[in-house]
Amino acid sequence: MTDFDGARVTVMGLGRFGGGVGVARWLAAQGADVLVTDLEPEDRLGGSIAALADLIDEGRVRLRLGGHNVSDFTTCDLVVANPAVPTPWENRFLRAAGAAGVAVTTEIALLVERLPSRQRVIGVTGTVGKSTTAAMIAAGLRGAEQPTTLGGNIGGTLLGELESLDPSSWIVLELSSAMLHWLGDARWSPGIAVVTGFAPNHADWHGTLDHYEASKRRMLAHQAPGDACVLGPGVHGWASAPGVRRTLVDAAARLDGLRVPGAHNAANAAIALAACAAAGASREGCERGVRAFEGLPHRLEAVGEAGVGGGVVRVFNDSKATTPEATLVALEAVRPLGPVHLIAGGYDKGIDLSPIVRAAPRLAGLYTIGATGDALARATGGNAESCGTLEAAVARAFERARPGDVVLLSPGCASWDQFENYERRGEAFRRLVRERVEAMRCAPSSR
C-alpha cells in the first residue's frame, strides 16, 4: 500500500516504551484512520499513550487496550505488526487478517520500501555486536565526512525523517532477526549487508534455532550484482548472491586505540571499517571516527568508581548482554582490569547458560538474579550466590568487592521477568550503583 489517505490501519502493539508510537504518528500524518491495539491495559501504557495524546484528542488515532479484537484485524485495509510479537505465523489475530485478505506488514518494511536508495543502505545483523558495530559504522562514515543516519533496531523510527533524508546519505540500519523475518516477505536486502557473527538465540521468538538462522540469512538473500557483504568470523560460509562483493573479516582482525574497552570492541571496529571500505569511504577518516566512538548505553558502559580501602572498585553496566556469549565477551573485556564480581541471570529464553556456569570458578563472585537465578546458582556447585533481585545482588557485590576489583552487570539473559526491557534494567543498575557509591562516600569507615 502506497496511499494511506483514508485507509483503515490497525497497529498491533503499542508497547510500554513506545514501540508503536512512531509508526502510528507517521500513518496518521499520511491521512490514515489508525487503531492501535495492545494486550496490555491502559494503566501499563501511560508513557506511550501520552506520546499519542494529541492525535487521540483529535480523533486521528483510536485505542483498543487490554486485549485484541479479531474484527480489528479483518475489517481494516492494513495491519502493522510489532516485530516483538513472537512466532507471528502462529498468532491467531495475524492469521485471521491473512485469511480475510488483509495485508500484514511492519514498521521496518514500511521504512525500507520508502528509502531513497537500497544501494545506500548498510544493514547490520548478528547475534552479538550488531548494535555497537552499526554505531561504529555510522561513526566511521561521519569521520570520513559522509552524511549518515543511524536507525532500525537502534534508536527510534526513521519514518518521520523520510522527507528530510538526502538521497546521497548513507543509512545504517541495525536489523534484528525478527525484523529480517518480516523483510523476507518484502524480498528486500540492503546494498551492503554486514553479519557480525552467529550463535544460538531467540528460540522463544522463532520457535526453533533453524528458523532463527534462516531469518538472519535473509539479510543476504535478495542482494543484487554490484552489492557487497561483510561477513564476520563464523559466518564466512554463508552464501551470497552471484555478483556480490564479499569481504571476510578474520577472527584476529582488530582496530586498536579505541575509547571503548575490550578485544570484542576492537573486533567490532574491524568489521565496521570493512563496511566503511565497502561503502568507498576513506580509511583515514573512518579510523578517526571509529576511534572517537564513545560507546552505547548499557554496553560495557562505565558507570562509576567506588572508593574502597584506599583504592577503587570499577563498575560497568552491560545490561544489553542478553546471551551467555555476550556475557563471556564482557568478562574478557574487563578481566584485565581486575578480579570480577559478575551479576547475571534474568528471564528464561530457553538457551543454554552453561558458559556462565563454567566461568564461575574464575570470578571473584557471581550473584544471580531473576527467573534463571536459582538454577544458575545451583549449577555452579557453590560458586555463586542466588540474590533474587538486582538490588540485593548489587549490595552483595559491593560488600565483597575489594580495591582493584570490578563489578559487572552482564546478565546473559533477557530482562522481562523483572524489568520491561534491558534499558530499564541498566537504568536501575546505574541508580543502585550511584546510591551505593554515595553511601560509601558518606560513611567510609563502614567497611
Cell of 58: 483529535
- Give the pLDDT confidence score for residue 119 in this predicted structure: 96
Across the range 176-190, mean pLDDT stands at: 93
Is pLDDT of 156 > 90? no
Distances (CA, A) of 193 to 184, 216, 221: 14, 11, 10
Is pLDDT of 11 > 60? yes
Domains for the chain: give ranges and CATH numbers: 8-105 (3.40.50.720), 110-292 (3.40.1190.10), 301-446 (3.90.190.20)
Return the HEC string of the chain.
Answer: CCCCCCCEEEEECCCCCCCCHHHHHHHHHCCCEEEEEECCCHHHCHHHHHHCHHHHHCCCEEEEECCCCHHHHHCCCEEEECCCCCCHHHCHHHHHHHHCCCEEECHHHHHHCCCCCHHHEEEEECCCCHHHHHHHHHHHHHHCCCCEEEEECCCCCCHHHHHHCCCCCEEEEECCHHHHHHHHHHCCCCCEEEECCCCCCCHHHHCCHHHHHHHHHHHHHCCCCCCEEEECCCCCCCCCCCCCEEEECCCCCCCCCCCCCCHHHHHHHHHHHHHHHHCCCCHHHHHHHHHHCCCCCCCCEEEEEEEECCEEEEEEECCCCCCHHHHHHHHHHHHHHCCEEEEECCECCCCCCHHHHHHHHHCCEEEEECCCHHHHHHHCCCCCEEEECHHHHHHHHHHHCCCCCEEEECCCCECCCCCCCHHHHHHHHHHHHHHHHHHHHHCHHHC
Could you tell me if 390 and 433 are in contact, meaning their C-beta atoms sit under 8 angstroms apart? no
Q: pLDDT for 216-256, tens place per residue?
A: 999 999 999 999 999 999 999 999 999 999 999 999 999 99
C-beta atoms surrounding 159 within 10 Å: 19
Handedness of CA 170, 174, 178, 181 (dihedral sign): positive
Q: pLDDT for 374-424, tens place per residue?
A: 999 999 999 999 999 999 999 999 999 999 999 999 999 999 999 989 999
Rounded distance between C-alpha atoms, residue 36 and residue 9, angstroms: 8
- Give the pLDDT confidence score for residue 157 in this predicted structure: 84
Rounded distance between C-alpha atoms, residue 132 and residue 428, angstroms: 22
Binned at pLDDT 50, 70 and 90, residue 145 comes out as very high
Q: pLDDT for 288-300, tens place per residue?
A: 999 999 888 998 8
- Give the pLDDT confidence score for residue 446 in this predicted structure: 44
Q: Which amino acid is at 421?
A: N
- Give the pLDDT confidence score for residue 170 in this predicted structure: 98
Residue 79 has phi, psi (to 5 degrees) of -115, 130
Task: Return the residue matching grid coordinates 542482494.
Answer: 223
- Give the pLDDT confidence score for residue 180 in this predicted structure: 96
Percent of the chain with pLDDT over 70: 98
- Give the pLDDT confidence score for residue 18 in this predicted structure: 67
Rounded distance between C-alpha atoms, residue 308 and residue 150, angstroms: 40
Tell me which residue of 78, 80, 74, 72 sits closest to 100, measured CA to CA: 74
Residues forming beta bridges with residue 36, ordered by sequence position: 11, 63
In terms of average pLDDT, the best of 33-47, 133-147, 253-267, 428-442 is 133-147
Is pLDDT of 443 > 70? no
pTM for this one?
0.79
